[in-house]
Amino acid sequence: MNSRKPTALQLIVSTSVLAIAVVLAVVLLWRMPSRPETDATPATDAEPERMAFEDAVAALAKAGEIVRVEDAQTPAVNPDDNAATTLRAAGSIADDDISDEFNDLDFSPTLTDPQWKIIEENVFDLSPALSLVDHAEKQTGLDWEVKWNDPIFATLLLDINPTRSLVKVVAAAAMNAHHQSRDDDAIHRISQMLMIAKATDQKPFFVTHVVSLNMAKDACQQIEWLAPTLAIESQSGEARPEQVQQLIKDLLDDGWVQERFREACINVRLNVLCSARWLGEGRLTESQARELLSPSNVRPSHAQVYTDARLLLPYLGAPIAAADAKSWPEYQKRIRQIPPELADIYKHPFYVLMPQSGGRADGRARDGYQAIARLRIAATTLALRTYAVDHDGQLPPALEALVPTYLSKIPLDPIAKNAGTLAYDPKTQPQVTGERPDEESATTKPTRENASGLVG
């Protein structure tokens, strides 16, 4: 028997070989596809509920409703005529090159000289972004090229923060132009803010809808600030009458707000359909299911998922059908509220996906009618200023005096319970107002943290 001890060299070689083997094993294990942490295989006793669910979805499809992700995607446009691509490039410049002082600046009509200097410097530095916005105005196509995923809640929405930064730059350009007595450019920039808001809302999700409405709100705010001193004539630097009239027309063309809300509601329903199938078929990971359902410790059976999803469909369809209501009170009358026994998410965990249960769909609808009211108030404010310029600074005694020269008709207040017109008092500030909704707005201005990422 050979009892010789291994030499030092042999020990080193053996240790090295063992170390290499361990490293290779670790690498191989790391490279191996991990087993998906999926839910259990669907129970066979869920088949009756699944078939009832699919029959309900088939009835929607037969009625012409969108029930598949591929049917919700927008058609591609000519890349050379795609305003979304141009706005994306402009937003990227704005998001990257805005100074910290500018980013932290809250706009108001009473800025200090140092604050005006910050605005002027950033508007100058970001002129390439503004030039791209000018180019986007001339393009007729619009496709943000959203990469739709099934399930929809995994769809990544890009461009939200950059376009918000871009709107702030355009707003600053409008303020700076008015500050420098270039009201023709100021009106032009405000119209661009409205254009970007409408373009942003072409991605039909609630998160982009809220961001878009806030962009439109910023445009209306600019009008409120500059209207009292807006110069409207045909001389150089002054806003042209036809230019102001076009902006009034654009503001009153507010049907896009309800159209985009309806499309967002359709996608909410589509999200529920997709999620039901993924949960019912056991294709979601444990972590995905926990994020999707609340309370996360309550897991519905496959049969319950299909049953809840089927029961949800009428309530998911209610805001879609009510989206064309002309006022917030009319919408409230047409909406269907979920019965309390069905809204109990401990008994029906899948109902947490229903926007009605948390008031999200109704909140977004209410936000939309408030946005429409703001757009109409802004349009009327511009019409009043135009009237005053034509009448030696005097405001009309009533809004009826604006018709038909400055307005085709007096705008209705979409919040008013009596379906009346906007209120007007020439002795107050602001002169044009609308009623407040019976509840506070659900809109919160998205931050950089909550306005980007996955659709939820």
- Report the pLDDT averaged over residues 428-454: 59
Domain co-membership, 142 together with 290: no
- pLDDT value at residue 261: 96
Q: How far apart are CA 334 and CA 322, in angstroms?
A: 6
CA nearest to 60, candidates 281, 280, 272: 272
Residue 357 has pLDDT above 60, yes or no: no
Domain co-membership, 379 together with 320: no
Domain co-membership, 222 together with 265: no
Residue with tokens 């596809």: 33
Residue 392 in any domain: the answer is yes
Torsion from C-alpha of 21, 22, 28, 33, nearest 10 degrees: 160
- pLDDT value at residue 84: 95
Residue 55 in any domain: the answer is no
- pLDDT value at residue 2: 41
Say if residue 395 is exposed, middle or buried (CB neighbours under 10 Å; 0-12, 13-18, 19+): middle
Domain that holds residue 284: 261-364
Residue 18 has pLDDT above 80, yes or no: no
Position with higher pLDDT, 21 vs 329: 329
Per-residue pLDDT reduced to its tens digit, 261-283: 999 999 889 988 988 888 888 88
Residue with tokens 């989206």: 323
- Report the pLDDT averaged over residues 252-257: 97
Domain co-membership, 84 together with 221: yes
Residue 87 in any domain: the answer is yes
Give the mean pLDDT of the chain: 84
Q: How far apart are CA 331 and CA 338, in angstroms?
A: 15
Residue 53 in any domain: the answer is no
- pLDDT value at residue 300: 77
Q: How far apart are CA 41 and CA 25, in angstroms?
A: 31
Of 306, 341, 364, the residue that ends a domain is: 364
Domain co-membership, 94 together with 205: yes
Per-residue pLDDT reduced to its tens digit, 57-107: 999 999 999 998 888 888 889 999 999 999 999 999 999 999 999 999 999
Of 322, 345, 364, the residue that ends a domain is: 364
Domain co-membership, 405 together with 436: yes
Domain co-membership, 332 together with 254: no
Position with higher pLDDT, 330 vs 308: 330
- Report the pLDDT averaged over residues 17-26: 46
- pTM (predicted TM-score): 0.85
Per-residue pLDDT reduced to its tens digit, 284-310: 777 777 777 766 566 778 888 899 889
Of 323, 344, 364, the residue that ends a domain is: 364
Residue 25 in any domain: the answer is no
Q: How far apart are CA 49 and CA 45, in angstroms?
A: 8
- pLDDT value at residue 347: 76
Per-residue pLDDT reduced to its tens digit, 134-184: 999 999 999 998 888 887 877 888 889 999 999 999 999 999 999 999 999
How many domains is the chain built from?
2
Residue 212 in any domain: the answer is yes
Instruction: Compute CA distances 446 → 94, 207, 209, 213, 374, whole Å.
Output: 17, 8, 11, 11, 19
| Beta pairing class for 156-157 and 453-454 | antiparallel
- pLDDT value at residue 305: 86
Residue 398 has pLDDT above 50, yes or no: yes
Domain co-membership, 79 together with 105: yes
Contact (CB, 8 A) for 147 and 155: yes
User: How is residue 288 written in tokens?
Assistant: 């995905």
Domain co-membership, 191 together with 163: yes
Give the end-to-end CA distance of the chain in Å, rounded to a whole number: 72
Residue 12 in any domain: the answer is no
Position with higher pLDDT, 434 vs 158: 434
Domain co-membership, 382 together with 320: no
Position with higher pLDDT, 360 vs 46: 46
Domain co-membership, 135 together with 177: yes
- pLDDT value at residue 1: 41
Q: How far apart are CA 53 and CA 93, in angstroms?
A: 47
Domain co-membership, 242 together with 136: yes
How much of the chain exceeds pLDDT 90, in percent?
60
Residue 209 in any domain: the answer is yes
- Side-chain-side CA neighbours of residue 34 (13 Å): 5
Residue 39 has pLDDT above 50, yes or no: no
- pLDDT value at residue 75: 83
